[in-house]
C-alpha cells in the first residue's frame, strides 16, 4: 500500500499500517496524558512518531510546538475540525501553535488562484479561531506570504533525486513536488530561530499525510547540522468514512460530508440519508440488533459529537441490543450535530473580522508576487 497525500485511499487495518510504515501505536503512551480528550481516549489518534519527546516537553514545561494546516479549497469539514481540535489541545498544554493555510498547495494541486484562496483563508481562519485557537500564543499564515517557508523550500531541494521524489509521491507534475518542499518547510518552520527553535514539534495529521512527515524527518536530519532541526513528531488520526458509507469524505461526493458552515437543512438531509449499520427491516433490527461498527452516525458521535464515553457506550449497547431503530437514533444525533453547528456558526461569525485582520496584516507585512 502506498499512502498518497493528494489522492483517495482506504484504510482497512490501522495496525497493519503502523507495522508497515513504522508508526508507533498510541496505546502505550496513553497513561502519559492526564485528562485525555475523546480523540485520544478512543484511539482516533491511533499512532504517532516520536510523540514521547513532545510529551516529555509538556511534562517538564520546556518549549515545544504544534503545527498543522489546511488546504484552502473550501470550508472546514470534520477532518479539518479534528486537526484543529488537536492543535488547540496541544496549544492549551503549552505549545506554540502554528497554523498554515496551504495556498501554494491549493494553487499547484487544485489550480486555485491566490485571490480565491485568500477569501477561503479568511473563512478557514475564522473557523480555527472559533474552535479555540489562541492567536496570541500562536501564528497563522498563508504559504504565499511566508517567505521563510518559500526560501527554505529552495534550500531543501538540493541533492534530492527524482527517484526519491517519485518513490515518495509518485509521478506528479513539477509544481506539486515544489509544494511538497513548501510543506516540509511549513513543518520545520516552528523550529527556526525566529520561533525560538529548534524545539520538539508535533504535527497532527491524517494518516494520508504521512509521506510529508517522513520526508520532513529526512530533511530535518539532512539539515540537522546547519539548522539544528529535531525530527518533527507526528500524531496520526484515523480518516472518517463518508456519511454515504464511502471510504473517505470527499468533495467529489457532496453526500459524503458536510462543512461546518453548511446550511442546517442540508446537513439534516445528509444525516437523514446517511449510511447506518441498520438491518433491512425494523423486525430484524429488534431481533438481531444493529451493527454500530458499520454505522456512519455512530462514527460521527465517536469522532466528534459525543464527548461523554458513557453516553457513547450506551448508544452502542442500545444499538447492539436492538433497543433502538436507526430513525430514532438519527433524530437524537441530528440534534447534537445541529446544536454544535449552530453554536460554531455563531462563534465563527464573531471571528470573521479578526480573521480578516490577520490576512490583511500579513499582506501589509509581506508583499508577494503569488
Asked if 119 and 126 touch (Cβ cutoff 8 Å), the reply is no
Which window, 47-55, 141-149, 204-212, 275-283, contacts a copy of itself (CB under 8 A)?
141-149
Selected from 155, 264, 338, 356, the binder of a copy of itself by CB under 8 A is 155
Which window, 15-23, 78-86, 100-108, 264-272, contacts a copy of itself (CB under 8 A)?
100-108
Contacts of 154 (CB under 8 A, 6+ apart): 181
The CA distance from 151 to 185, in Å, is 8
Q: Which is nearer to a copy of itself, 71 or 238 (CB)?
A: 71
| Range 180-239, binding a copy of itself (CB under 8 A) | 181-182, 192
What is the closest distance, in whole angstroms, from the C-beta atom of residue 161 to a copy of itself in the complex?
6
Selected from 90, 99, 139, 177, the binder of a copy of itself by CB under 8 A is 177
CA distances from 196 to 62, 127, 140, 319 (A): 12, 27, 16, 51
- How far from the centroid of its chain's Cα atoms is residue 66's Cα? 12
Interaction between residue 368 and a copy of itself (CB under 8 A):
yes
What phi, psi does 279 have (nearest 5°)?
-85, 175
Q: Please give the DSSP secondary-structure letter assigned to residue 44.
A: S
CA angle 349, 355, 357 (to 5 degrees): 125
Selected from 60, 171, 225, 265, the binder of a copy of itself by CB under 8 A is 171
Cis bond upstream, residue 267 (ω within 30): no
What is the closest distance, in whole angstroms, from the C-beta atom of residue 67 to a copy of itself in the complex?
17
Number of amino acids touching a copy of itself (CB under 8 A): 38
End-to-end CA distance of the chain: 36
Which window, 1-9, 159-167, 206-214, 349-357, contacts a copy of itself (CB under 8 A)?
159-167
Selected from 12, 34, 61, 174, the binder of a copy of itself by CB under 8 A is 174
What is the closest distance, in whole angstroms, from the C-beta atom of residue 9 to a copy of itself in the complex?
22
Interaction between residue 28 and a copy of itself (CB under 8 A):
no
The CA distance from 312 to 196, in Å, is 42
Selected from 147, 283, 342, 357, the binder of a copy of itself by CB under 8 A is 147
Interaction between residue 78 and a copy of itself (CB under 8 A):
no
Q: Work out the number of other CB atoms within 10 angstroms of the CB of residue 266.
A: 12
Cell of 100: 498554515
Q: What is the CA radius of gyration of the chain?
A: 21
Which window, 142-150, 248-256, 299-307, 356-364, contacts a copy of itself (CB under 8 A)?
142-150
The CA distance from 141 to 148, in Å, is 11
Interaction between residue 157 and a copy of itself (CB under 8 A):
yes
Interaction between residue 111 and a copy of itself (CB under 8 A):
yes
The CA distance from 95 to 75, in Å, is 26
What is the closest distance, in whole angstroms, from the C-beta atom of residue 189 to a copy of itself in the complex?
10
Residues of the shown chain interacting with a copy of itself in the complex, contacts defined by CB under 8 A: 104, 107-108, 111, 144, 147-148, 150-162, 164-166, 171-175, 177-179, 181-182, 192, 367-370
Amino acid at each position: 500500500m502506498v499512502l498518497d497525500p493528494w489522492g483517495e485511499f482506504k484504510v482497512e487495518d490501522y495496525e497493519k499500517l503502523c507495522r508497515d510504515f513504522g508508526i508507533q501505536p498510541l496505546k502505550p503512551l496513553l497513561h502519559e496524558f492526564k485528562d485525555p480528550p475523546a480523540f485520544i481516549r478512543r484511539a482516533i489518534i491511533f499512532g504517532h512518531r516520536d510523540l514521547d519527546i513532545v510529551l516529555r516537553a509538556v511534562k517538564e514545561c520546556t518549549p515545544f510546538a504544534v503545527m498543522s494546516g489546511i488546504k484552502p479549497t473550501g470550508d472546514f469539514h470534520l477532518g479539518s475540525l479534528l486537526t484543529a481540535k488537536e492543535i488547540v489541545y496541544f496549544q492549551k498544554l503549552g505549545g506554540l501553535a502554528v497554523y498554515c493555510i496551504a495556498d501554494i498547495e491549493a494553487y499547484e494541486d487544485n489550480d486555485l488562484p491566490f485571490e480565491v484562496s485568500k477569501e477561503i483563508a479568511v473563512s478557514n481562519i475564522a473557523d480555527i479561531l472559533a474552535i479555540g485557537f489562541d492567536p496570541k500564543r500562536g501564528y497563522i499564515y498563508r504559504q504565499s506570504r511566508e517567505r521563510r517557508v518559500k526560501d527554505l523550500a529552495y534550500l531543501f531541494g538540493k541533492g534530492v533525486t527524482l527517484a526519491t521524489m517519485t518513490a515518495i509521491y509518485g509521478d506528479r507534475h513539477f509544481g506539486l513536488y515544489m509544494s511538497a518542499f513548501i510543506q516540509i518547510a511549513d513543518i520545520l518552520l516552528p523550529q527556526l530561530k525566529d520561533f525560538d527553535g529548534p524545539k520538539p514539534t508535533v504535527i497532527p495529521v491524517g494518516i494520508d499525510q504521512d509521506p510529508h512527515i517522513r520526508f520532513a524527518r529526512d530533511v530535518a536530519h539532512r539539515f540537522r547540522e546547519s539548522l539544528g532541526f529535531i525530527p518533527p513528531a507526528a500524531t496520526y488520526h484515523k480518516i472518517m468514512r463518508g456519511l454515504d458509507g464511502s471510504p473517505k469524505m470527499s468533495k467529489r461526493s457532496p453526500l459524503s460530508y458536510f462543512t461546518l458552515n453548511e446550511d442546517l437543512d442540508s446537513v439534516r438531509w445528509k444525516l437523514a440519508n446517511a449510511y447506518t449499520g441498520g438491518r433491512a427491516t425494523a423486525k430484524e433490527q429488534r431481533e438481531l440488533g444493529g451493527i454500530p461498527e458499520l454505522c456512519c452516525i455512530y462514527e460521527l458521535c465517536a469522532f466528534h459529537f459525543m464527548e461523554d464515553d458513557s453516553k457513547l457506550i450506551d448508544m452502542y449497547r442500545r444499538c447492539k441490543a436492538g433497543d433502538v431503530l436507526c430513525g430514532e437514533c438519527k433524530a437524537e444525533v441530528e440534534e447534537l450535530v445541529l446544536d454544535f453547528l449552530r453554536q460554531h456558526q455563531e462563534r465563527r461569525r464573531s471571528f470573521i473580522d479578526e480573521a480578516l485582520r490577520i490576512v490583511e496584516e500579513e499582506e501589509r507585512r509581506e508583499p508577494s508576487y503569488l
